[in-house]
A and B are shown apart, each in its own frame.
Chain A
Amino acid sequence: MPSLIAEANRINDFVVKFANVNGTGSASANSLIMKAIFRMGVPVTGKNYFPSNIQGLPTWYEIRVTREGYAARASHVDIMVAMNAETYAKDIRELRSGGYLIYDSTWPRSALLQRGDITVIAVPLAKLVNENFDGVRNRILLKNIAYAGVLAALLDVDLTVISALLSESYGKKPKLLDSNTRALRLGYDYVKENLTSPLPLRVEHMEKTRGHIMIDGNTAAGLGCVYAGATVGAWYPITPSTSLMDAFKGFCERYRVDAETGERNFAVLQAEDELAAVGMVLGASWNGARAFTPTSGPGISLMNEFIGLGYYAEVPCVIFDVQRVGPSTGMPTRTQQGDILICAYASHGDTRHVLLFPANPEECFYMAVQAFDLAERLQTPVFVLSDLDIGMNDWMCPDLKWDDAYQPDRGKVLSKQEIDGLEKFYRYLDRDDDAIPYRTLPGTSAKGAYFTRGSGHNQYGGYTEDSAEYQVVLDRLKRKFTTATKYVPKPVLIGKGNNSVGIVSIGSCDGAIREALDVLMLQKIEVDYLRIKAFPFNTDVEAFLKSHATIFVVEQNRDAQLKALLTLETAVEKSKLFSILSYSGLPISAHPIVDEIRAKLAEAPRLTAVPR
């Protein structure tokens, strides 16, 4: 049963939130608990709400234990591990009625932590740790492991699983392994000796995570670039995209360095800014390498002029936009889908770009590969529109698989022999009637040489200021975008497809929508759901829009950018489309989707059981 319905059985179905101070090393304790639960076969998700700061500001980590395997944020908290006195007041307010608050009672705060409808669990963590360990930094770190021990006892997390995880992390450092194990036991034993455990909210072994991994989207995308055969990466650091290049570099160091010579089959260029980063990608792709750049909104804004050059001069280019909250610098560590329109139409003049919308880290991996195939097949910039939620949070995904039969689609690149066989080479001629011209690479043959320019050019590749000649090229580019619909991934339909009410969405809204569908189903509301995976929209999208009388467009921005794009680029009647928007910066949850659809349809009385 979906967890939006409050119910008695809370085994493997609850949310733990950790309130910490940034820079105190809490991440390892939090992921220790999450991984242990995952290894017990119970689906989990982890969401990190961190500040744009290196040390000192509050930070939260949320683990949703979800036996149904929901990927979205839950929008309620059952257990708050309150380790930051600065945020006690806010943290206690956030707890759901009947929830539990765990805090460090070394400094009792009974007055502040009072709320009649919750249970306060006091553990003198600092005292326990200070009595057993030395060193300021050491104590701070081990206090985190001690609260992990407390949770393990309260939630009935298998200690052997946690021990195995600790051994894997610290196996080569026996001293660290020993102190971590002791700290864990401190918390664990304190609960066993002084408190009632486990709680009714607890974990039990399941069999639902076999064949799955916990991975973030940036790691998966970086890995995808390695598997796609990308050799040049250029970037300028920006949250939340930085870890994508870190991942690419890390994997390259593992897989792309010759063991004997130390020679590297890759080059990563840390550019002076995003403008240069995308220029490098264009230069490298023009020269026949698979090249990419990861960035976020502010970087996209800077890249615009070059993106137009890529479009008009028809140079492949792969851009990962790990979206964050805008406008401007916005909230760099919060998530949004606010770059849909700027990416779709980036740069001045008539331009339109191919967009891919991964919904989770697994798709980041596969779409990274697809993005290179599309960019080279279509000779144009391709955007992978991920976001902070996908890119930086840990998601449970099926194991990534690789088909060794895969061959990259390098598109229409002429070899020396092919060039020699031509009477003359013309760069922008539509020889195959698919609006995709042939290109040649520098170094191949003097006969295949051509001049690439962003200024007016005719189909032969020559400079032009002639209206008719200019239009021939511009019109072909438009047709090329139509050709793209045949190559981009098709949307995913969930539901019978013949309901009158539909949901259309993209990317990381997926988890929340799937959960909302289950809740609606329980309330006898049946809705079809089409998840669009790419722009340009193909005929399946048109058909869905046509066949549904009422369509909810779910997206994470204020201005309904996906809805706007649908109305601009399809024949849909605007009046059929209703927006469900989430732009708080937190990942969307199922809750508002259910509420808004129900309110709109007004078919059944409000369910009081839906928790706030």
Chain B
Amino acid sequence: MSYINKPKVAHPSLPTNSLGLTRRQYEGSMSTLCAGCGHDSVTAAMVEACWGLSMQPEQLVKLSGIGCSSKTTAYFVSGSHGFNSVHGRMPSIASGANAANRSLTYVGISGDGDSLSIGMGQLVHVIRRNVNMLYLIENNGVYGLTKGQFSASADIGTKAKRGETNSSPPIDPVLLALTLGATFVARSFSGDKAQLVPLIQAGMRHNGFALIDVLSPCVTFNDHEGSTKSYGFTREHYHPAVEADFVPRAQEIAVDYPAGEAIPVSLHDGSRVILRKLDPLYDPTDRGAAYNYIENKLKQNEYVTGLIHIDEADNTEFHTLNRTAAMPLNSIPFERLSPGSVALDKLMARYR
């Protein structure tokens, strides 16, 4: 297999964003995933989201671990640097990269195996560290790349393609992130682009760690009768609780939302998320209530989707706590980093 480059001939009639770029210019190399794989829909949503944000391609950094899902980073925005690291360890690469340059937008893409088994420790700690990034899990309940073993997100009672039944309880990344105090937690479905795209955009603009768990069916190993992560099952048990519309900075809110139903939340860069509660009982700003709601629905086999929790007032983002200089650390001139000979000569007195 060799490197496949998609030809990028922009059709003159294709719509452009404020940078004058078409959607095609946000694409990456050709996907090598199975036809129909949910992960490819996430790729499409990423393209749409970045185009819609008028993201400068070089301002985006794509990071991933290992797995079919982790390959996604190669399939969108080829004008961005990408780092396909080792299995389960993307969060540490992201943390270091973000420490070095706080001015770029970081998107990490992982799988349920990558994040909830081998990489569980790193996921937990990157949430705790509150690194400013979007962390998207393409959750299919199996290890796709190693041919269909159950992952830690497999539900009790779900059936593998070869027939065994899973009996261990699942780890739910949404409940996990809520427990750990993440300030942006969402769930979506790869088949619902309309819901997913604004979530991605809001997650990229959120100041701090943003997690989106995307149910992303594996057509090859987990899309059969008896699976709880198949397209069919997900569609049936999908429970949107809060829709989120993303309104970029400087853009007027175009739609009129009936009062009481819409909650506008301002993001730190001036853009806004308009939350619309589809379930009047739901309050996305109350972390504890969100947790109980999700857990109860899970017990009823319902996947609550949408922007489950957001807290824009939080200021525990890594660089904020570290009081890191505004200028990216990787660009500070050497003269300002190295104290010089006079300081060293003076320091020597301490060691006599």
Contact = CB atoms under 8 A, between A and B. Distances in A.
Interface of A: 35, 38-39, 212-215, 223, 226-232, 234, 251, 255-256, 258, 262-267, 269, 271-273, 275-289, 291, 305-306, 309, 399-404, 406-408, 440-455, 458, 460-466, 469
8 contacts: A264-B323, A276-B95, A279-B89, A289-B330, A408-B334, A441-B81, A449-B82, A454-B84
Nearest to B129: A269
B92 A279 contact: yes
Interface in B69-113: 73-74, 78-86, 89, 91-101, 103-104
B89 A306 contact: yes
Nearest to A209: B352
B218 interface: no
B58 A449 contact: yes
Contacts of A448: 58
B93 A280 contact: yes
Given A265-B332, A269-B96, A452 B352 contact: no
Contacts of B82: 449-453
B322 interface: yes
B12 interface: no
A283 B95 contact: yes
B3 A276 contact: no
A451 B74 contact: yes
Interface stretch (B199-207, B208-216, B341-349): B341-349
Given A279-B92, A407-B334, A267 B322 contact: yes
Contacts of B347: 223
B344 A227 contact: yes
Given A273-B121, A455-B84, A284 B322 contact: no
Contact of B81 (A256, A258, A450): A450
A276 B92 contact: yes
A417 to B, nearest CB: 14
Contacts, number: 236
Given A265-B325, A291-B96, A403 B336 contact: no
A284 B332 contact: no
A283 B334 contact: no
A458 B324 CA distance: 38
Contacts of A39: 352
B2 interface: yes
Contacts of A452: 81-84
Contacts of B326: 263
A227 B339 contact: yes
A279 B85 contact: yes
A265 B100 contact: no
A231 B330 contact: yes
Contact of B2 (A229, A449, A462): A462
A263 B352 contact: no
Given A229-B337, A276-B121, 8 more contacts: A227-B338, A251-B339, A269-B95, A276-B122, A285-B96, A286-B97, A402-B340, A449-B58
B57 interface: yes
Nearest to B104: A443
A227 B343 CA distance: 10
A223 B80 CA distance: 35
B352 A214 contact: yes
B125 interface: yes
